[in-house]
């Protein structure tokens, strides 16, 4: 399949990175080697779909459908959020 | 009783579990206190297991198993297993010299999440002179290979100073060769043993600038493959670091004997009594202990911190450094250019530049040296 936008990329959590719900604070946390991220609501929805199986395109489709948002806008937000976490070593793209 | 005051105290994020002060290495900048705890005074397994349970209940998310050398504790896999059971992210901070296949296998099986492995230099002779242990380098390389083979994520920790800083490019290349996910380049922090050895360790400005430039360049070279964190040196700083993310805000440090501290060097501060996990729960300590309350927030601050618009960014810097260099732990960290004591750092740089290769005072249990700041 032709994939000029990189939609076929399969994002995954980096080695040693864990995404879990923190019962004490009642929010999701991303735990990485010697760092810790508290993602905002939008980032949480994205990260819940990062399972090392779904492609970037499938993640964007899912979010655009569920939140009835324009696909290109969702694609931009997802790319920015995952790109930032990839630079920090929490996500592999 | 004010309900607001109780609810506004956020739970801590991290637990620094200093399991032991015993260590085969004798690094002259060791972050352990000058008065080192002997093995007989260490907490037992049952108490550490209880502390880990209390940590999870309190909202702690990450546990750093440290020392000394934490792998001298035979019960380390049991502690890691409990951390994993309670969803605590576990990090092993090790020199690697005792990390054989059996110990690492036990840790992997117990659910260890990450290893931070230290190297004193890339050149074997210099590395072993700094660490004070012959044969250490080969053991560290073997440990790195075992960690890779086990599939554990690896951070290579590089403490830099006057006597190894010129090798930083090769040290970073070593991290890449060992396929580390992350490298931590950390300048020596000058309190405790580091302060004793300051004239032998403090880099010159030219060395510092070269190292900082190398870190920047290496970040570009390894972007997307390896993260490089950089702990800057206070002595050349204009603003202090938020030591421990602020006193009593994010971390609890437990000493081998069970004292709960807001930072690992806090026992150098006079007039504070630190509670023991043998006698109180972590929750009670976090909420009630006067020693955790003493420098928490901003109410304790004096000028220039008190009216500074960065007071909730750097939280006044390091209390231990303020004490060591200004004589009063409540003063602004002299790393800050706004501190009237900032000149003490300049004077120390000049003194180190004049000093002609003084020998190291190696860390040793039962041999605390006298400190003259």
pLDDT value for A3:
46
- Say if residues B242 and B260 touch (Cβ distance below 8 Å): no
Q: Whats the size of chain B, residue-wise?
A: 373
pLDDT value for B233:
85
Q: Which one has a higher pLDDT value, B349 or A24?
A: A24
Give the best-scoring range by mean pLDDT among A10-19, B342-351, B355-364: A10-19
- Say if residues B254 and B308 touch (Cβ distance below 8 Å): no
**Residue B85 confidence (pLDDT) above 70:** yes
Taking only the tens place, the pLDDT of each residue in B128-159 is 999 999 999 999 999 999 999 999 999 999 99
- Say if residues B159 and B231 touch (Cβ distance below 8 Å): no
Q: Which of these, B207, B197, B240, B205, lies nearest to B349 by C-alpha position? A: B205
Say if strands A18-22 and A27-32 run parallel, antiparallel, or are unpaired: antiparallel
- Say if residues B74 and B108 touch (Cβ distance below 8 Å): no
Average pLDDT value over all residues in chain B: 93
Q: What is the DSSP string of A41-74?
A: HHHHHHHTT-SSSS-HHHHHHHHHHHTT--HHHH
**Residue B70 confidence (pLDDT) above 50:** yes
**Residue B5 confidence (pLDDT) above 70:** no
Q: Span B300-312, mean pLDDT?
A: 95
**Residue B1 confidence (pLDDT) above 60:** no
Token pair 């994010």 is at which residue?
B250
What does pTM read for this prediction? 0.93
Beta strands in chain B (DSSP E): 14-18, 62-66, 89-94, 114-119, 154-160, 182-187, 227-231, 251-254, 260-261
B236 vs B346: CA distance, rounded Å: 8
Taking only the tens place, the pLDDT of each residue in B212-243 is 999 999 999 998 889 999 988 888 889 999 99
Cβ-Cβ contacts under 8 Å, B13 against chain A: 36
**Can you tell me the ipTM of this complex?**
0.88
B76 vs B92: CA distance, rounded Å: 10
Is B309 buried (19+), middle (13-18) or exposed (0-12) by CB count in 10 A? exposed
Cα Rg of chain A (Å, integer): 13
User: Looking at CA atoms only, how far is residue B115 from chain A in angstroms?
Assistant: 8
Interface of B with A in 134-193 (CB under 8 A): 151-153, 155, 181-182, 184
A14 vs A85: CA distance, rounded Å: 10
**Residue B84 confidence (pLDDT) above 60:** yes
Q: Span B184-201, mean pLDDT?
A: 92
Residue B258 token pair = 């069970």
B157 vs B166: CA distance, rounded Å: 16
CB contact under 8 A, B91 and A87: no
**Residue B347 confidence (pLDDT) above 60:** yes
Q: Give the Cα-Cα-Cα angle B240, B322, B17 (nearest 5 degrees).
A: 80
CB contact under 8 A, A31 and B153: no
Q: CA separation (Å) from B129 to B26, B121, B167, B364?
A: 10, 10, 15, 15
B199 vs B276: CA distance, rounded Å: 35
Q: Give the Cα-Cα-Cα angle A88, A90, A93 (nearest 5 degrees).
A: 95
SS3 B62: strand
Q: Which of these, B231, B226, B121, B130, lies nearest to B177 by C-alpha position? A: B226
* pLDDT band, very low/low/confident/very high, at B346 (cuts 50, 70, 90): confident
- Nearest chain A alpha carbon to B222: A87
Listed in sequence order, the residues at least 6 apart from B272 whose beta carbon sits closer than 8 Å to its beta carbon are B266, B290, B291, B294
B48 vs B39: CA distance, rounded Å: 15
Q: What is the pLDDT along chain A (93 residues), one digit of tens a residue?
A: 434 447 889 999 998 999 999 999 999 999 998 889 999 999 999 999 999 999 999 999 999 999 999 999 999 999 999 999 988 889 988
* pLDDT band, very low/low/confident/very high, at B359 (cuts 50, 70, 90): confident
Cβ-Cβ contacts under 8 Å, B62 against chain A: 31, 34, 36
pLDDT value for B357:
67
* pLDDT band, very low/low/confident/very high, at B371 (cuts 50, 70, 90): low
Residue-wise over A44-54: b if at least 16 C-beta within 10 A, else e? Answer: bbbbebbeeeb
Nearest CB among A16, A36, A88 relative to B114 is that of: A16
Taking only the tens place, the pLDDT of each residue in B237-294 is 899 999 999 999 999 999 999 999 999 999 989 899 999 999 999 999 999 999 999 9
């Amino acid at each position: 399949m032709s994939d000029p936008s990189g939609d076929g990329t399969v994002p995954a959590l980096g080695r040693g990175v864990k995404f879990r719900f923190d019962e004490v604070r009642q929010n999701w946390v991303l735990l990485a080697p010697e760092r810790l991220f508290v993602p905002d609501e939008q980032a949480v929805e994205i990260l819940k779909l990062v399972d090392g199986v779904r492609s970037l395109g499938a993640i964007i489709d899912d979010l655009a459908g569920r939140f009835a948002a324009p696909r290109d806008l969702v694609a931009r937000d997802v790319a920015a959020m995952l790109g930032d976490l990839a630079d920090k070593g929490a996500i592999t793209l | 009783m004010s309900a607001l005051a109780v609810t506004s105290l956020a739970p801590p994020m991290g637990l620094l579990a200093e399991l032991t002060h015993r260590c085969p290495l004798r690094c002259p900048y060791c972050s352990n206190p000058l008065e080192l705890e002997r093995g007989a005074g260490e907490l037992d397994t049952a108490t550490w297991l209880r502390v880990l349970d209390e940590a999870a209940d309190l909202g702690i998310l990450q546990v750093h198993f440290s020392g000394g050398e934490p792998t001298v504790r035979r019960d380390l896999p049991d502690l890691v297993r409990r951390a994993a059971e309670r969803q605590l992210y576990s990090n092993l901070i090790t020199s690697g010299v005792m990390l054989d296949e059996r110990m690492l296998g036990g840790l992997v099986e117990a659910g260890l999440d990450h290893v931070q492995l230290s190297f004193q230099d890339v050149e074997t002779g210099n590395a072993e002179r700094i660490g004070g242990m012959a044969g250490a380098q080969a053991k560290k390389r073997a440990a790195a290979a075992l960690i890779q083979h086990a599939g554990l994520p690896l951070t290579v920790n590089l403490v830099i100073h006057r006597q190894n800083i010129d090798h930083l490019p090769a040290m970073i290349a070593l991290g890449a060769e060992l396929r580390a996910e992350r490298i931590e380049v950390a300048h020596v922090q000058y309190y405790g043993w580091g302060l004793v050895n300051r004239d032998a360790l403090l880099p010159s400005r030219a060395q510092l600038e070269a190292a900082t430039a190398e870190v920047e360049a290496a970040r570009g070279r390894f972007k997307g493959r390896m993260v490089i964190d950089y702990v800057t040196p206070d002595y050349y700083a204009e603003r202090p670091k938020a030591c421990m993310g602020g006193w009593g805000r994010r971390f609890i440090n437990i000493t081998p004997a069970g004292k709960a501290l807001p930072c690992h060097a806090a026992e150098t501060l006079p007039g504070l009594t630190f509670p023991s996990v043998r006698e109180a729960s972590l929750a009670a300590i976090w909420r009630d202990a006067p020693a955790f309350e003493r420098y928490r927030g901003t109410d304790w601050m004096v000028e220039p911190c008190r009216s500074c618009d960065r007071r909730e960014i750097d939280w006044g810097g390091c209390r231990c450094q303020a004490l060591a260099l200004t004589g009063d732990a409540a003063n602004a960290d002299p790393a800050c250019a706004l501190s009237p004591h900032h000149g003490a750092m300049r004077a120390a740089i000049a003194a180190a530049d004049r000093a002609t290769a003084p020998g190291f005072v190696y860390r040793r249990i039962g041999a605390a040296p006298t400190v003259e700041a």
